[in-house]
Amino acid sequence: MIDLSLLTDGGVGWLDASGPSSHLVLSTRIRLARNLAGRVFQGRNSESEREDILNTVESAARDTVLLRRAIKFRLDHLDRTDRQLLHERHLVSKELAGLDADGRVRSGATVLVQDRLGVMLNEEDHLRLQGLHSGFALDAAYAEVDRLDAELGQRLAFAFHSEFGYLTSCPTNVGTGLRASVLIHLPGLVLTKEISKVLQGLAQVGLTFRGLYGEGSEVVGNFFQLSNQTTLGSSEYELLDHLGKMVRQVMDYEEQARQVLLRDAPAIIEDKVWRAYGLLRYARALSFEEAMNLLSGVRLGVGVSLIPDVGMYTLNKLLVYTQPAHLAVAEGIAPNDPELPVRRAQFVRRVLESEVGRRG
Amino acid sequence: MSCEQCHEREAVIHLTQIVNEQVTTLHLCEQCAAEKGVESPGSLPKTPLGTFLAAMEQTPAPRAAETCSRCGGSLQDFRETGRLGCPDCYRSFEVNLRDLLRRLHGSTHHMGERYTEGGTAPPRERHQAAELREQLRLAVETENFELAAELRDRLRVLE
């Protein structure tokens, strides 16, 4: 069993709801795709080459300031529950955790984590640098990852082309290798059925959306990950600026949608959010999906000041710890144990009983 | 109805054009329509990469020389996996990729931070003008005049 307490903030610093606009935005994530020069990409390399990449990058990382004390998790040495746990904490991708349909973990699949920074090794690219911040914090998150990129770039030789920029295994990431994502809660737009218009609009301006866990994941609990689609032809700052402007606009739309709901259907909204709270507080069995949807309702209720005394931190904590692997580890059972929904409901009741009344 | 172009396959696309106030309707099979650059709505893949890969499917099989000298990967491999084999593939398949990058990103020119091995690059601001000049040179070289004009304007502001 892995010991996540080794991580200074347990790897969940991003959920403390301390960041800007954290009533709407859960977290901001930046990742940079990098590959080592003169080596074949991951899809064509061998087990020993991946091992060599791991050793080369790790020794470079130990020489940096930002990853000197990094905790190392070798995914290929962990059991499925532990891998799922790291994925649920947004520390590794589904692919690296070997949670895709084929369920295989690639040899050499590793993540180095220190505070808000991390590097995935032997993912689709040799390195995936990432930074995760609480709330809406594109510039701060990028500045940190950029510093790490500079530190690693001094110690490693990255594959770079004078015209195409940083070379990546998939041409969709070439150039800056930058993917910036903002995890945003949009229940107002979903309830007013404006969401598909907004998402279509984003697609037209070169942005894309994904579910709670990034690429290939479903939208649950009205959480959308908004990110840039293109990585080439604009500078990092232009990409971030564009995404930032669009996210601010989506936030405005969401606020407007909430005002419309409160103005036109106050009784329905009030009933909806309190019903969600009541179910969370008293239900005896909850599936993950149901818990997520109810938490979304309560989050909306807190956001529009209908439900007092529930902190965003409490809601974020419930969001993370009711996920299957987290709950299973805490309860000492398997993530597919039929008891899980009962334990989830118990856990939610316990947290709400002890924390409500205390603002997070 | 058979295709007016090849007279062999069934016409499935009916293209109405107005030229010089004359209305003409073309009846084409999917293949001939594609050759004329007409895409049927049903055949449109959802992503730019999908569009490109689909377009590549229709082009003749790559010649034997179209493998990367460094990793041995071929365009066929790329078509199947959507992944390139190594950094050198970007040179080996430059012509095809340039087209793809333009479709995917609307550009082939990296405008972001430039990497120098050893990381001794001067601070970003100082570096920017040199960077723009290099990009301008490349844009002119590749006859991308729209980009060149934009770069020239940005250089003027900077200098």
Listed residue (B110, B10, B2) closest to A160, CA to CA: B110
What mean pLDDT, rounded, does chain A reach?
92
Residues whose CB is less than 8 angstroms from the CB of residue A247 and which lie 6 or more positions away in sequence, other chains included? A25, A136, A138, A182, A184, A226
With contacts defined as CB-CB under 8 Å, which chain B residues touch A44? 71, 73, 85-86
With contacts defined as CB-CB under 8 Å, which chain B residues touch A165? 110, 112
Listed residue (A319, A11, A18, A27) closest to A181, CA to CA: A27
Taking one residue from A and the other from B, the number of pairs with CB-CB distance under 8 angstroms is: 115
Residues in a beta bridge with A223: A185
Give the one of A150, A159, A165 whose C-beta lies nearest to B110's C-beta.
A165
Radius of gyration for the alpha carbons in chain A, expressed in angstroms and rounded: 21
Enter the tokens of residue A216: 């290939």
User: What are the backbone angles phi and psi of residue A160, rounded to the nearest 5°?
Assistant: -140, 140
Asked if A111 and A105 touch (Cβ cutoff 8 Å), the reply is no
Residues whose CB is less than 8 angstroms from the CB of residue B118 and which lie 6 or more positions away in sequence, other chains included? A154
Chain B window 71-130: which residues touch A at a Cβ cutoff of 8 Å?
Answer: 71, 73, 81-87, 90-91, 97, 100-101, 104-115, 117-120
Query: pTM of the predicted model, to two decimals?
Result: 0.80
- What are the counts of helices (DSSP H) followed by strands (DSSP E) for chain A? 11, 10
- What are the counts of helices (DSSP H) followed by strands (DSSP E) for chain B? 7, 2
Checking ipTM against 0.85, whether it exceeds it is yes
Round to whole Å and give the CA distance between A254 and A30: 23
Query: What are the pLDDT digits (tens) for B19-37?
Result: 555 566 777 777 777 776 6
Q: What is the pLDDT along chain B (159 residues), one digit of tens a residue?
A: 777 877 777 777 776 666 555 566 777 777 777 776 665 444 444 566 766 666 666 655 545 447 999 999 999 999 899 999 999 999 999 999 999 999 999 999 999 999 987 654 444 544 576 677 778 888 888 888 888 888 888 877 766
With contacts defined as CB-CB under 8 Å, which chain B residues touch A163? 108-110, 138
The reply to whether residue A231 touches residue B108, judged by beta carbons under 8 angstroms, is no
pLDDT at B22: 59
Round to whole Å and give the CA distance between A91 and A83: 10
Enter the tokens of residue A74: 């070798």
Nearest CA-CA distance, residue A192 and chain B, Å: 26
Asked if A200 and A229 touch (Cβ cutoff 8 Å), the reply is no
Round to whole Å and give the CA distance between B135 and A163: 8
Q: What is the pLDDT along chain A (360 residues), one digit of tens a residue?
A: 666 665 555 556 667 777 788 889 999 999 999 999 999 999 999 999 999 999 999 999 999 999 999 999 999 999 999 999 999 999 999 999 999 877 789 999 999 999 899 999 999 999 999 999 999 999 999 999 999 999 999 999 999 999 999 999 999 999 999 999 999 999 999 999 999 999 999 999 999 998 877 777 778 899 999 999 999 999 999 999 999 999 999 999 999 999 999 999 999 999 999 999 999 999 999 999 999 999 999 999 999 999 998 988 899 989 989 999 999 998 999 988 999 999 999 999 999 999 885 443
Which helix or strand (DSSP H or E) is residue A150 part of? helix A138-155
Give the one of B71, B87, B113 whose C-beta lies nearest to A159's C-beta.
B87
Q: Render the burial of A108-143: b for 16+ CB within 10 Å, e for the rest.
A: bbbbbbbbbbbbbbbbbbbbbbbbbbbbbbbebbbe
Nearest CA-CA distance, residue A8 and chain B, Å: 29
Asked if A224 and A251 touch (Cβ cutoff 8 Å), the reply is no
